[in-house]
Amino acid sequence: MTTHVSSPARSAALATPPPPRWAVWAAHAVPLIALPSTLWRLAMTVGVPVGFSEEVLRTDYGLPGTGYLILPAISLAQEGAALLTLGLVRDWGLVAPRRLPFIGGRPVRTGAAVTAALLGALVMTAVTVSQLMLWDTVDDGNLTGTHRAVMGWLYAPLLLWGPLLALVTLSYALRRRRQR
């Protein structure tokens, strides 16, 4: 039998009130919102015809070539960033998991978490809104018709990422504030 000794700081952090149900739903929605564009990018990487010519795939996306590494790396980074939203509604957003070097087992600083999350929300909102505004003005590699519509529908959910992250962050900040 093993016993777990908890530090006073850890106990205090875990005494934070639970997140509201809407915040939990919103936090879980973010990785799902990122998934369609991630899958589209991965499909393109493995050779599923997404509407780009061979020349565009080669010159713009490095396929075949470096794109085989870069596109999956972008997809993993995108999903990883989206999954971090869950930390705002889970215990590991209050106390860093013990397996993390240097910070493991320590309470997460509210200001640091809120600042990082709000910055992420601002960046995602700025990027997705700017891309929406540029949708009809940039060269899209001659992507037309059904392929263009599919790409648009798969990337459109990303417009919700920034606002949802901002709302979940507000909930996190208010919960942590009530804890004090």
Q: Digits of tens for pLDDT over the chain (180 positions)? A: 454 556 665 665 667 889 999 999 999 999 999 999 999 999 999 999 888 888 888 888 888 999 899 999 999 999 999 999 999 999 999 999 999 899 889 999 999 999 999 999 999 999 999 998 988 776 666 777 888 889 999 999 999 999 999 999 999 999 998 776
Q: Is the pTM of this model over 0.85?
A: yes
Q: Rounded to whole angstroms, how far apart are CA atoms 85 and 79? A: 10
Q: Which residues of 75-97 are buried (b: 16+ CB within 10 A; e: fewer)?
A: beebbebbebbbbbbeeebbbbe
Q: Rounded to whole angstroms, how far apart are CA atoms 180 and 177? A: 6
Total domains in the fold of the chain: 1
Asked if residue 10 is part of any domain, the answer here is no
Asked if residue 8 is part of any domain, the answer here is no
By the 8 A CB rule, do 44 and 71 touch?
yes
Q: Which domain holds residue 128?
A: 19-179
